[in-house]
Amino acid sequence: MPTEPATSNAPSRSKLPVISLFAGAGGLDLAVERVADAPLSAPSTPTDGPFRVAVATDYAPQALDTLALNLPETATLPGDIRNTPTSELLHAGSLSEGDAALVVGGPPCTPFSKSGFWLAEKRESRDPNASLLEEYVRVVAQSRPEAFVLENVQALTYKTHQGAFRQLLAALSELGYNPQWKTLLAADYGVPQLRKRVFIVGRRDGIAFKFPEPTHAGPSETTRTWDRSKLPHVTAAEAFAGLETSPEAGELVEGKYGELAAEIPDGQNYLWHTSRYGGRDEFKWRSRYWTFLLRLAPDKPSSTLQAQPGPYVGPFHWENRRNDAGELRARRLRVPELLRLMTFPDNFQLIGNRADIQRQLGNAVPMELGKAVLRALTLQLGYVDPETDSDDRLVRSTSSAVLIS
C-alpha cells in the first residue's frame, strides 16, 4: 500500500529528533514534546524541552491529522508500516541512520507471527505476514536510535504470547539495546485512570534502563494494601476540578438499559441490578463485562477508557441528567473530561465525530504516564543535569496531585 507524501512545517533543528511509530493521536508524542513540563501539569504552552518529534507515522490518517493539528512542526507519514521503508521515515524527518535520539511507539496488539524480523535470514527480505512488533524492531535496527520506548497492552506479557514476547526481547537484545520491561499502572504516576500498560525501554549503549518509582499509590482491582507514604491516586473528581463543560449530542444513555443505568450508584456497574445488591434483579451474577453500565466513582480514579465502547459500556459520569421527557438518564463522559482522564492538555484539539474522538483517546498513551518514563530516560541519558534544581524538579517533583490546566 503506497504511502502519501509527508507533511510538516519547519521544525526546531536544535532539539534532539525522535521517530514516532504507531503514533495515533499522539499520546507518546505529547510526552516526548512535554517531557520538561512539571509532573502533573499540562500548560497550554509546553515548557521548552530537549526533544522534538521529527516524524510520526500511523495507519489511521484521521488520528495522524489530530497529531499534526497539535504538533504542527512534526512531519506526518500516513500509511501501513509494513509498506513503509525505514529510509522513507528517515527522509521524511530529514534524518540519517543514527541521528534519532529515540524511537517511540505502541504497536497495536495483533496476532504474532511465528517467524519474522528477529531471524537473521528474514532481515534481507520483507515477510508479508510479519507482526507489527517485528516492524518496530526493523525500524530500530535500521535507524539505530540512542534509545527506544515501546508501549503495549499488558496482555503482551501473558503466557498466551510468551513465545512472541521472548522473541521480541531477544531481537532487541541482539541489536545491543539490553531491553528492560515493566508493567506500569497509570494511576501510580498521577494519571486519574487505572490503566495498566507494559513498557519496554532499551539503550543503544547497552546500559540497563531503570524505571521511575511510582509517585502515587492507592487501591485497585488487584491491590488492597499500598504505600501510604506516597501521594494518593488522583481521583476523577480531582481531575475534573474547575472544568466547565457543555452537554454534547447523544451523551445520554437511552434505549433498553437507559433507566437501569440511571439507577446505578457511582462506582457500581450492572451488578447493582442482581439479586446480591440493592437494585432490580435484572442480571445474573457476573454475566457481563465489568464495564457494562459502569458509573465513575468521584473519589477514585477512572477505569480504563475504552476505544470502541458499545452503547452501554462505561465508565459513565456519576451525575444524571434529564432527557426531553424529564426522565433521569446517565450520561457519557464529555470530550474535555476524557482529555483530563488521559492527562492531555485542555487545549488539545481532536478531529472527527464523537466515536472517532473516543477511539483516538482510548487508543492513546496517557500523557503523564509517558512523561514519567521519558523523564527517567532523559535523566539517565544525561540530557538534564540532576544537580540543577530546575531540571531535577522536572524529573522528580511530585508536589502536585491535581492537573494544572
Domain layout of the chain by residue ranges: 16-229+363-396, 247-333
Tell me how far apart the alpha carbons of residues 64 and 315 are, in angstroms, rounded to a whole number.
Answer: 26
Specify whether 372 is catalytic.
no
Plot region of 255 (φ>0 → left; ψ -120 to 50 → alpha; else → beta): left
pLDDT tens for 222-262 read 888 899 999 999 999 999 999 999 999 999 999 999 999 99
Contact partners, residue 58, CB within 8 Å, separation at least 6:
22, 23, 24, 64, 67, 78
pLDDT tens by residue, 344-398? 999 999 999 999 999 999 999 999 999 999 999 999 999 977 655 344 444 333 3
Per-residue burial over 45-55, b if 16 or more Cβ lie within 10 Å, else e, is ebeebbbbbbb
- How far is it, in rounded angstroms, from Cα 24 to Cα 37? 22
The bridge status of strand 328-330 relative to strand 320-322 is antiparallel
pLDDT at position 387: 59
Q: Going from the first residue of the chain to its last (405 residues), give the mean pLDDT of each consecutive group of 10, the final group possibly shorter.
A: 43 84 97 94 91 97 96 97 97 97 86 40 41 94 98 88 90 98 97 96 98 95 88 98 96 97 98 96 95 97 94 97 98 98 97 96 97 98 69 37 37
pLDDT value of position 12: 57
Predicted pLDDT of residue 401: 34
Q: Per the structure block, which three cell numbers stand in for 235?
A: 481521583
DSSP string of 264-314, one letter each residue: SPTT--GGGGSTTSSS-S-S-TT-S-TTBT-B--TTS-EEPPPSS--TTBS
pTM above 0.95, yes or no: no
Q: Positive or negative, the Cα torsion across 297, 351, 77, 112?
A: positive
Per-residue confidence (pLDDT) for residue 223, from 0 to 100: 80
Residues 6+ apart with CB under 8 A from 354: 248, 249, 250, 335
Q: Distance of alpha carbon 66 from its chain centroid, rounded?
A: 15
Out of 109, 237, 243, 313, pick the active-site residue.
109
Which residue, among 310, 319, 351, has the nearest Cα to 337 in the 3D structure? 319
8 Å CB contact between 40 and 402: yes
16-229+363-396 carries CATH number 3.40.50.150:
yes
